[in-house]
Chain A
Amino acid sequence: MVSNGTRKERATATNNESAFIRQEDAPILPPPITSAGVAGWLNDNIFASMLDFSTLGAAVKSILMAIFTAFVAYIFFDQVYGLLDFAIFSAVWQDPEEQKRQVCWTIEQGGKLPNGWHGACWPYIIAKTKFILYGAYPNESLWRVNSTYLLGAILLVWVMIDRLPYRKLVGAVLLTIYPIFATVMLTGGGFGLSQFSVGVNTIIGLALISLGRAGKMGWITGPFLDLSKMAGVAGWFFIFFAAALVSVGVDFDLSKVDTRDWGGLLITLVVATTAIVVSLPLGILLALGRRSSLPVARTLSIIFIEFWRGVPLITVLFMASVMIPLFMPEGVNFDSLLRALIGVTLWQSAYMAEVIRGGLQAIDKGQYEGADAVGLSYWQSMRLIILPQALTRVLPGIVNTIISVFKDTSLVSIVGLFDLLGATQATIADAAWSTPVQASTGYLVVALIFFVFCFGMSRYSMYIERKLDRGH
């Protein structure tokens, strides 16, 4: 109480006798130099960890941090500049006199460039572009590859842009008609028409479809209703198969191109897209199998998935190239591209299955029970309730798997296919362009192509992730 009184007195005293009372607001000072502008940014982003000299330990830490930062910065700029210097500033761009390898030789090696020169030899890439992109595919038929690419790109972009109409229809075309079109265009088609097998497939297909129709019309009831529905779906597969047989069987008067002549980016894209497109449905089936309550289906799925996931792709490709010929009956011959395709696809579907299983496991149990409660059958509940949610949830994972299979297609070069990497490796062995920078230049190009594809896909997956994010 006493102190309170004194304070009050003092306050009154100050009010009366004070020499100065500020009448206006204090001027707004600029923020401390360490928290605004360039200096503030530098402080926050670089020097924050190296300005503490309050104790000996902190000082040592700050100095070490500063040294390490300088070291990393040096390495970073050295590497980036080295790459740019190699690829652009020091590179040889033209070969006007058609000297081939000599255009990229230093004086020591017998050329004109200064000693110690180290840069990319672009004339070598320009000369080999066709081989790196298409392999030994005949020049006069390249338009077929290009138009296949073009159509594929148009369809794919159509499916990917949300605002365009008929996206589902285009997607269906992309997955059904487009592969047949691509096969015919790339191989030349005309494998011969077996009227018998086309006929049998058509007849079975029509028969099954009419069974399905009969079920829909209510002519089939009771326990066989489900079977007739299945038959109806299966029928369309047979019809599709027959149509495919006709398409690749008919001779469109295109010159035949053996898959041995395919190469470069073409093989990479063919292997990657086939593996991706086939492994997705296979992966879904395997994932459902692994989560199934049927012991046999579950065990078989587990064995399949764990086997393929447990072995490296290289051994799978070795197995495919060595053992598939042994497994097939006499007279059936798979070319090496098809064998590699089978290997990559089976291997890939196991990985896909595990990603999708993650999605299935993440779905709340109530969704399964809810689907059961409204009386949906197993396949209906999977198709309408579970899978749409599960696949959406693991879309980033699926894209990651797609990126990794795209990179892993480079392994087919080990079993003798000339994919992007294999074809480039083959051009590097070409003595006509033999220079010390040949390998680096070739690898730089391949790395750039792979990087553009993979980085692009990863960005697209991030975009999708943001779009599908429900903000839970």
Chain B
Amino acid sequence: MNWKPNTFSKFANDANVRGVFFQVVLIATLVFFFFWLTDNTLTNLSNQGKSLGFAFLSGTAGFQISQTFGTWLFDYQVGTSTYLDVYFIGIANTLLVAVLGIVAATVIGFTLGIMRLSNNIVFRAFATTYIEMLRNIPILLQLFFWYFAVLRSLPGKRDKLEIIPDLIGVNITGLYLPAPVPQEGFVYSVIAFALAILLTFGVKQYAKRVQAQTGKITPVFLIGTALVISIPLITFLATNSPLDWNTPEFKDSGPMLRRGYQSGSGMILVPELIAVWLALSLYTAAFIAEIVRAGILAVSQGQTEAASALGIRPNYTLRLVVIPQAMRVIIPPLTSQYLNITKNSSLAVAIAYPELVSVFAGTALNQVGKEIEMIFMMMMVYLTVSLLTAAFMNWYNDRVKLVER
């Protein structure tokens, strides 16, 4: 090569210069792309005679939403409630399903995960079959199965299947439960409950101090459970049991059209909610079980052996050595499963459970036709939940990660 480096080639081979050049090109391409998109969108919108803006939110919504947690929370009335109310109803219903699903999936998933590690072959076989079957079948199919195949074969509207006679019953219109109706004075029981929880924390602090000074271990869990149950119960009884139960009313005589469960009596879980709940929790439980199993297996046998060498009793070994270390492995993927439940709750749109996607991006969008604004608002909800969870995860990871030199 008879070529000699000159000023220009030095400049052009500088990593910083190349980086800046590459990024400028990237930004320019993106700006051009978004400009093109915006331009197209504005042209298309003006061709359709539409404009951008959020004024539609204060318009009144003229459609029915089936009786759910959200409609109860925001007191939905056709003709007076606004589209903003519809938005909040959607969010409330989404969060309700997500919370219910998370609780159920955690319980089932942990049970199955531990069962899969059991020495008992019955447990192992059951858990393995469950996990392999449910996680290899799409959740939407499971949702359809629960809704269209199982819940549709329940007794008809004028009939019922009693789970607890006169208290809990189910038919094709939903699951009917007694509804608690707090009377005057019930608030004291609630206050007592809060106090009991605070007291338990106090006991925990005290137990910590006692253990640090004397080495004695106070059974905090037992004391706490006793406190949390007994104090509100005593208050409840002392204030003359201020809670009524509104039991579901079922008529099997009288005019044909009036038979069946009476509206306004008891509490109803609509079949859509039950189907979504079942599908979400049973499907996600299979994944949580695998996470739990991996977490427990990740704690090396040496930890248990070291603990018993130190003379720690088996149940304390589990509580103080194994579980804290397993949790470090379990929590991050577990959180992402919780996030998956929240996101998968949007599948409820397929069976018309009135959650965010179904009621806001479905029914309301069809009425108002503000695609860009409404889909943006809908996505913001999920994004917010995701980013909050991610922030929590980072915080938690910083707290529990191994401190290395």
Residues of A within 8 A of B (CB): 44-46, 48-49, 65, 69, 72-73, 75-76, 80, 221-223, 293-297, 300, 306-307, 309-315, 318-319, 322-323, 325-330, 403, 407-408, 410-411, 413-414, 421, 425, 428, 436, 439-440, 443, 446-447, 450-451, 454-455, 458
Contacts and interface: CB of A to CB of B under 8 A. Distances in A.
B13 A315 contact: no
Contact of B343 (A297, A300, A312, A443): A312
A296 B27 CA distance: 8
Contact of A314 (B132, B138, B357): B357
17 contacts: A65-B120, A69-B123, A72-B122, A223-B9, A297-B26, A306-B390, A312-B343, A312-B344, A315-B379, A315-B382, A326-B41, A330-B43, A330-B44, A414-B350, A421-B138, A443-B148, A446-B141
Q: Which of B1, B118, B122, B125 has the most CB of A within 10 A?
A: B122
Interface stretch (B187-195, B300-308, B370-378): B370-378
Contact of B383 (A311, A319, A413): A311
A80 B148 CA distance: 21
Nearest to B14: A223
- The dominant DSSP class at the B interface is helix
A408 B27 contact: no
B346 interface: yes
A29 B153 CA distance: 61
A294 B346 CA distance: 36
Contacts of A329: 40, 43
A48 B23 contact: no
Contact of A450 (B41, B123, B141, B379): B141
Given A49-B120, A421-B140, A309 B357 contact: no
Contacts of B365: 322
A326 B139 contact: no
A221 B3 CA distance: 8
B213 interface: no
Contacts of B226: none
B346 A315 contact: yes
A46 B122 contact: yes
B19 interface: yes
B141 A46 contact: no
Interface residues of B, number: 64
A294 B386 contact: no
A325 B112 CA distance: 46
A410 B5 CA distance: 59
A293 B122 contact: no
Contact of A312 (B5, B13, B382): B382
Given A300-B26, A312-B382, A414-B349, A318 B126 contact: no
Contacts of A294: 19, 22-23
A250 to B, nearest CB: 31
A403 B349 CA distance: 23
Given A293-B19, A458-B136, A314 B26 contact: no
A327 B37 contact: yes
A44 B121 CA distance: 9
B44 A323 contact: no
B360 to A, nearest CB: 11
A328 B40 CA distance: 6
A439 B152 contact: yes
A76 B122 contact: yes
Given A294-B19, A326-B45, A425-B144, A407 B139 contact: yes
A294 B45 CA distance: 37
